[in-house]
Structure 1
Amino acid sequence: MKTSFIEYIKRRSLTPRTISSFDRVIVIFLKWLEKEQMKVEQVSYRDILSFMKSCQKQVSQRTVQLYLNVIRHYYDHLIEENKIEINPVAGIKVQGVKRKALYHIFEPHELHAIYNSYQDETLKGKRNKIMLSLLVYQGVKTEELIKLEVQDVKLREGKIEIPGGAKSERRLLQLESHQVLEFYDYINNTRKEIMTNSGQKTDKLFVSIEGGDSLDSCMHRLMFWVRRKNKLVVNAKQLRASVIVKWLKMYNLRKVQYLAGHRYISSTESYQQSEMQGLTEEVNKFHPLG
């Protein structure tokens, strides 16, 4: 049964290191069941709590939480195999463990709607909409937007090259077909007019407009406008997470690592793990450990 579980998690394109850690946790759990003279299929909600309490004597709260997540996937596998009907781990969490905030992950059509909702035909509005398009379609970080130069846009190829940074790698990303036309208009018309009006000379793709319009403050105002239109939007990181989760459903882990600009595969895996646990769900009301 453990062997079939390993095959199950291998299908999710996890790294060998992660698969090995899953394997170790399941071995610990199965040994505990053997000691308690219980079968995997007979384990109840209360039995899981007993297992967690026994683990707390040896490992940290965070490690117990990690054990719990692996065992939850193990029982999801058993449900898929029609061995059981209910996951006994569902709804349990170790208290006192800080979690990354879970927020709504937008589906592709929702991201497209966010983009289409931004309507502003001023020079500033046209520039901002181009910036928003890179957030919702390419998952670009806000600090990467500021670094972009005109030469990074490859209109003939329909691609854009995103510069690397302290925590990200350079990558070449495909533009949506409508983005190619919009970038062409922005570079050849909107941007030139902004630069003429302000007297600027720069290779930067996105240029400031006179009157205290720094790109940093511009991004704050842009996200404020987006949040007013869609109450589910929290910040730009949420939009990036939505794009990465979309990619994970389309490509293998290594390709998503490249597209996201992640320096380490573990960064990409964290989005995959979140997707497996259900990013789009609200934080559940977990049973506390007594």
Structure 2
Amino acid sequence: MTSQTRYKQLFLEYLQIEKNASPLTVSHYAEDVDVFLLFMESEALTKLQDVDHSFIRVYLSKLHEAKLSRRSIARKVSCLRSFYRFLEREEIVKQNPFINVRLPKSEYPIPDFFYEEELAQLFSVSDSSTPLGQRNQAILEVLYGTGIRVSECVHLEEKHIDFSLATILVYGKGSKERYVPFGQFAEEALSYYIKEARPKLLKNQTQPTDQLFVNAKGGPLTARGVRMILDKMVKEAALTVDIHPHKLRHSFATHLLNSGADLRSVQELLGHEHLSSTQVYTHVSKDRLRQVYMGSHPRAKK
């Protein structure tokens, strides 16, 4: 094992243990560090201590030549800045060469979301006479009714739901806890699923799972399983739109803001650490406001 590989491994352990980073974050950071180390090797640079601003400029130019988006480049720089901050803390390097690297602000695409008419079609397709149909309806109501991530949804347990307060305890990124309220539709679908459908799905399972949502055999439902369920529901609703679980989260945030919810509250509900992550949804709301203005104001157009 080379010294660079060993330093990378120590950095990943630091992310997992001290920073409590999610497995996905650790995976992304590992990939970004590997790309940088391979570039160092291609340039015959053997020591992390020898990286300087001129070398970083060459590296960034290569990323631009590869036609990576500004957002991807910014992520890689942020990762390497954190990597060198760790190396500096461990006294492996004397200074962080990435500390003063500045990039143009990343472009944030407007989130893809469902229109309310499309959601109405989607909510009408589940077969409420079957356990799987009841489960699917509950999943849909929870994802759209709370805005939680699919990774958070599949790790829910029955004990995390408080029907008296109509809230769900959610473990988000970095195992951070937050309470998210849910409405009457989600309450009804969840209650029916827990009392009627879930026991039937668990019937043939010798080792019942604590996980709230289960598959047809009574085992834990995965994020991939949720995507397959939603894909099937879209086809049954005869919708010509693409779907991914995050689209329901985008719809949750967009519809709240379009209806007058304040940005800080939506940030709390989504579990975003930074307000900038939530502000991307204001682009959709501004577009909606412009439509209302153009269609309503007497001096908006001739």
Of 116, 124, 128, which residue of structure 1 is paired with 2:124?
116
SS in structure 2 opposite 1:160?
strand
Tell me how far apart the structure 1 counterparts of residues 195 and 167 of structure 2 sit (CA, whole Å): 17
Deviation at 1:234, TM superposition (A): 2.9
User: Which aligned pairs between 1:17-166 and structure 2 lie closer than 5 A?
Assistant: 100-102=108-110, 105-119=113-127, 121-166=129-174
Tell me how far apart the structure 2 counterparts of residues 245 and 179 of structure 1 sit (CA, whole Å): 19
User: Which aligned pairs between 1:206-225 and structure 2 lie closer than 5 A?
Assistant: 206-210=213-217, 214-225=221-232
Structural RMSD (CA): 3.2
Partner of 2:243: 234
What residue identity is the alignment partner of 1:273? H
Partner of 1:205: 212
Tell me how far apart the structure 2 counterparts of residues 218 and 111 of structure 1 sit (CA, whole Å): 20
Partner of 1:30: none
The answer as to whether partners of 2:208 and 2:218 remain within 8 angstroms in 1 is: no
Are residues 1:192 and 2:202 paired?
A: no
Deviation at 1:107, TM superposition (A): 3.6
The answer as to whether partners of 1:164 and 1:170 remain within 8 angstroms in 2 is: yes
Partner of 1:259: 269
- Cα deviation 1:246-280 (Å, max 9, x = unaligned): 12232211111001111111101121134325699
Moved more, 209-218 or 176-185: 209-218
The answer as to whether partners of 1:155 and 1:180 remain within 8 angstroms in 2 is: yes
Are residues 1:269 and 2:279 paired?
A: yes
Deviation at 1:220, TM superposition (A): 2.6
Are residues 1:173 and 2:193 paired?
A: no
Tell me how far apart the structure 2 counterparts of residues 138 and 198 of structure 1 sit (CA, whole Å): 29
Judged with a 3 Å threshold, the aligned counterparts in structure 2 of structure 1 residues 113 and 173 are, in CA distance, closer, same or farther, namely farther
What residue identity is the alignment partner of 1:269? Q
Are residues 1:244 and 2:249 paired?
A: no
- Cα deviation 1:108-155 (Å, max 9, x = unaligned): 454243222233533222212211111222222111111101011111
Partner of 2:40: none
**Where do 4+ consecutive residues of structure 1 move more than 4 Å?**
97-104, 211-214, 277-281
Which gives a bigger RCO, structure 1 or 2 (Cα 8 Å, sep 6+)? 1
Tell me how far apart the structure 2 counterparts of residues 205 and 213 of structure 1 sit (CA, whole Å): 8
| TM-score w.r.t. length of structure 2 | 0.53
Judged with a 3 Å threshold, the aligned counterparts in structure 2 of structure 1 residues 107 and 113 are, in CA distance, closer, same or farther, namely same
SS in structure 2 opposite 1:266?
helix
Judged with a 3 Å threshold, the aligned counterparts in structure 2 of structure 1 residues 153 and 173 are, in CA distance, closer, same or farther, namely same
Tell me how far apart the structure 2 counterparts of residues 155 and 176 of structure 1 sit (CA, whole Å): 10
Structure 1, gaps ≥5 residues long: 1-60, 63-96, 282-290
Deviation at 1:213, TM superposition (A): 7.9
Judged with a 3 Å threshold, the aligned counterparts in structure 2 of structure 1 residues 125 and 200 are, in CA distance, closer, same or farther, namely farther
Tell me how far apart the structure 2 counterparts of residues 173 and 211 of structure 1 sit (CA, whole Å): 26
The answer as to whether partners of 1:130 and 1:183 remain within 8 angstroms in 2 is: yes
SS in structure 2 opposite 1:248?
helix
Count of residue pairs brought into register by the alignment: 186
Judged with a 3 Å threshold, the aligned counterparts in structure 2 of structure 1 residues 242 and 275 are, in CA distance, closer, same or farther, namely same
| TM-score w.r.t. length of structure 1 | 0.55
User: Which aligned pairs between 1:2-17 and structure 2 lie closer than 5 A?
Assistant: none
What residue identity is the alignment partner of 1:247? L
Judged with a 3 Å threshold, the aligned counterparts in structure 2 of structure 1 residues 269 and 98 are, in CA distance, closer, same or farther, namely closer
- Cα deviation 1:72-124 (Å, max 9, x = unaligned): xxxxxxxxxxxxxxxxxxxxxxxxx9955556533445424322223353322
The answer as to whether partners of 1:149 and 1:203 remain within 8 angstroms in 2 is: yes
Structure 2, gaps ≥5 residues long: 1-68, 71-104, 292-302
Judged with a 3 Å threshold, the aligned counterparts in structure 2 of structure 1 residues 217 and 124 are, in CA distance, closer, same or farther, namely farther
Judged with a 3 Å threshold, the aligned counterparts in structure 2 of structure 1 residues 208 and 162 are, in CA distance, closer, same or farther, namely same
